[in-house]
Amino acid sequence: MTIRVAKKPFLAGVTCRTQGWHLHHTPDEVPSPGLQWRFWVGAHVHDRARAWLGDGVMLRRTPLEAAMEDTQACIADASQELLFETTFVWNGLVARADAIRRHGIEWDLIEIKSGKFKPDEKVNAEFVDDLAYTRMVAAGAGIKIARSLLVLINGEYRLNGTAEPFHAADITELVNARAAEFAAIADDVYATVAAAEPPTPELIFACRKCDYFDTQCVGRGIPDPLFLIPRITEKKFEALKRYERISRLPADADLTDNQRRVVEVLQSGTPRVNQDGLSVLDQIEWPVSYLDFETISPPFPWFEDTEPYQMVPFQYSLHRQDTPGAAVTHKEYLAPTDGDWRLYLTELLLHDLGTAGSIVVYSSFEKQRLTELAALFPALADQLKAVIARLFDLEPVFKHGYQHPAFLGRTSIKKVLPVMVRDLSYKALPVNNGDDALGVFGLMRVKMMDEELVPARREQLLRYCELDTMAMVRLHEAAAQLRGGG
């Protein structure tokens, strides 16, 4: 029986045959809440885009033979103008076109993506690749393609506004050029990806974001890969690639000051304390509040004054300590999943923050959200600006003041906390990362979660966000001890 290879492993195989092989041979993982939310977003965008494209015929996707039969029958039927989910097979490769529309004696190929269209932005290369793959397979299967159209969410779309929800961009030239490149290597990619054994992997720049890197491939058993160098570019990676590990880098390797600091800490295996970097802690004024937001970016706005994918805070956690070592108090807010909670959230937050003392955050994320809230609610702008003026970002302390080899070159709270505060951990929490938090909230909002699960899931969201700010309390404490010990 002919082995069928789908788009995802093929496209991965264009860059790395081994990754394509793994994708083809590995079963799909159980989706996390974050992934379930993205699946819902994708399906929802497709539903709305199909309605926007017009009346068409929805074809069967499975089983494959039936899907191919439907496609051939509808293409042969001149009365059919618009077909959704057509299936093509060529040389063992399977492609599904989101839609095809009759264009004289040819067809327009239409790919629906949940990304946002912005007129001044370059077309995402991944979207071009997706269309190019489908074009190659559809053309190979015998249909004539006139144009390749990419349908994206219109960035100008507003709830109850007049702008169209989608924009269709004609990217035929880009797609044709890329499809020709794919066609030249298609046989080789197919043969390698479909083979029983994986090809020999080679360390390449794409490995830095590959799920298989340290579990099944070239990074396995390597504690200090070059990808731990912060902001390593492809050019620098290629220049350093022969050393393979940070421990093998020579002293005169071409690195920025920050990269060199990280490399030196990893090579020495000992932490680096820099009192200059820690001295910013002296700016913190008591009482200290510790603030963290969770946000969600719905593809189509939930409110009239937001744009597609605009971030909307739906939750905050706030710890407060009046003096060093004093008892810590906690306040929190989690939005209902109906209505518009943003004004209430903002007013409650202003009340909870009071007007005195520093507000510790971790990264610039909260500052951006507070700035957006100030623009949204002009009547509260002065108070919000006063809040922004009190912010203190703790993350740079762990960039410039203290670096530990176990941070592995990173400064995110998830990397720093287990090293600095061993008795606090995200591991035991059912919701333990921001992606899953927004996924849980999103699924509740769009009523894609069983009602009886909602109370428990809300509680899990609260405990996750609480840990984020408790982590800041303890990290501040740990950093202050380092400062005091200088």
Nearest to 112 by CA among 167, 188, 182: 167
Task: Outline where 144-283 has alpha helix (H).
Answer: 172-194, 213-216, 234-240, 257-268, 275-278
Among 19, 148, 383, 469, binds ligand SF4 (CB under 6 A): 19
Tokens at 54, concatenated: 């017009």
Query: Going residue by residue from 22 to 51, which x/- string records binding to ligand SF4, judged by CB under 6 A?
Result: x-----------------------------
Beta strands in 118-257 (DSSP E): 145-154, 166-170
Tokens at 450, concatenated: 């069983």
Shortest Å, Cβ 104 to ligand SF4 = 42
Q: Which is nearer to ligand SF4, 149 or 207 (CB)?
A: 207
Region near ligand SF4 per CB under 6 A, out of 30-38, 141-149, 199-207, 264-272: 199-207
Are the C-beta atoms of 218 and 22 separated by less than 8 Å?
no
Q: Which residues pair with 272 in a beta bridge?
A: 403
Shortest Å, Cβ 3 to ligand SF4 = 19
Among 182, 213, 227, 464, binds ligand SF4 (CB under 6 A): 213
Shortest Å, Cβ 220 to ligand SF4 = 9
201 binds ligand SF4 (CB under 6 A): yes
Cα–Cα distance measured from residue 451 to residue 454, given in angstroms and rounded to the nearest whole number: 5
By CB under 6 A, what part of segment 215-274 binds ligand SF4?
217-218
Shortest Å, Cβ 204 to ligand SF4 = 6
Residues 6+ apart with CB under 8 A from 141: 88, 89, 90
Among 5, 11, 16, 349, binds ligand SF4 (CB under 6 A): 16
Are the C-beta atoms of 206 and 200 separated by less than 8 Å?
no
Cα–Cα distance measured from residue 78 to residue 102, given in angstroms and rounded to the nearest whole number: 9
Task: Name residue, tokens 């009346």.
Answer: 55
Region near ligand SF4 per CB under 6 A, out of 55-63, 95-103, 203-211, 354-362: 203-211
Shortest Å, Cβ 221 to ligand SF4 = 13
Shortest Å, Cβ 202 to ligand SF4 = 6
Shortest Å, Cβ 208 to ligand SF4 = 8
Shortest Å, Cβ 207 to ligand SF4 = 3
Question: Helices 172-194 and 7-15: crossing angle, nearest 10°?
Answer: 90
Cα–Cα distance measured from residue 263 to residue 268, given in angstroms and rounded to the nearest whole number: 8
Among 141, 175, 186, 210, binds ligand SF4 (CB under 6 A): 210
Region near ligand SF4 per CB under 6 A, out of 206-214, 253-261, 263-271, 393-401: 206-214
Q: Nearest 5 degrees, angle CA 180-CA 184-CA 187?
A: 130
**Residue 129 exposure: Cα atoms within 13 Å on the Cβ side:** 12
Region near ligand SF4 per CB under 6 A, out of 16-24, 26-34, 124-132, 185-193: 16-24
Region near ligand SF4 per CB under 6 A, out of 12-20, 237-245, 271-279, 462-470: 12-20
Q: Which is nearer to ligand SF4, 214 or 477 (CB)?
A: 214
Q: Give how many residues touch ligand SF4 by CB under 6 A.
A: 14
Shortest Å, Cβ 244 to ligand SF4 = 13
DSSP state, residue 206: G
Nearest to 320 by CA among 296, 285, 282: 285
Task: Name residue, tokens 């990806």.
Answer: 193
Among 14, 18, 111, 309, binds ligand SF4 (CB under 6 A): 18
Are the C-beta atoms of 461 and 294 separated by less than 8 Å?
yes
Q: Which is nearer to ligand SF4, 19 or 148 (CB)?
A: 19
Q: Which residues pair with 225 in a beta bridge?
A: 245
Q: Which is nearer to ligand SF4, 18 or 148 (CB)?
A: 18
Cα–Cα distance measured from residue 286 to residue 255, given in angstroms and rounded to the nearest whole number: 39
Shortest Å, Cβ 200 to ligand SF4 = 9
Phi, psi of 281 (to 5 degrees): -60, -25
Q: Which is nearer to ligand SF4, 199 or 430 (CB)?
A: 199
Are the C-beta atoms of 7 and 133 separated by less than 8 Å?
yes
Among 145, 207, 397, 413, binds ligand SF4 (CB under 6 A): 207
By CB under 6 A, what part of segment 412-451 binds ligand SF4?
none
Q: Which is nearer to ligand SF4, 22 or 261 (CB)?
A: 22
Distances (CA, A) of 105 to 75, 79, 82, 89, 137: 11, 13, 13, 21, 19
Region near ligand SF4 per CB under 6 A, out of 44-52, 151-159, 207-215, 457-465: 207-215
Tokens at 254, concatenated: 């071409």
Residues that bind ligand SF4 (CB under 6 A): 16, 18-19, 22, 201-202, 204, 206-207, 210, 212-213, 217-218
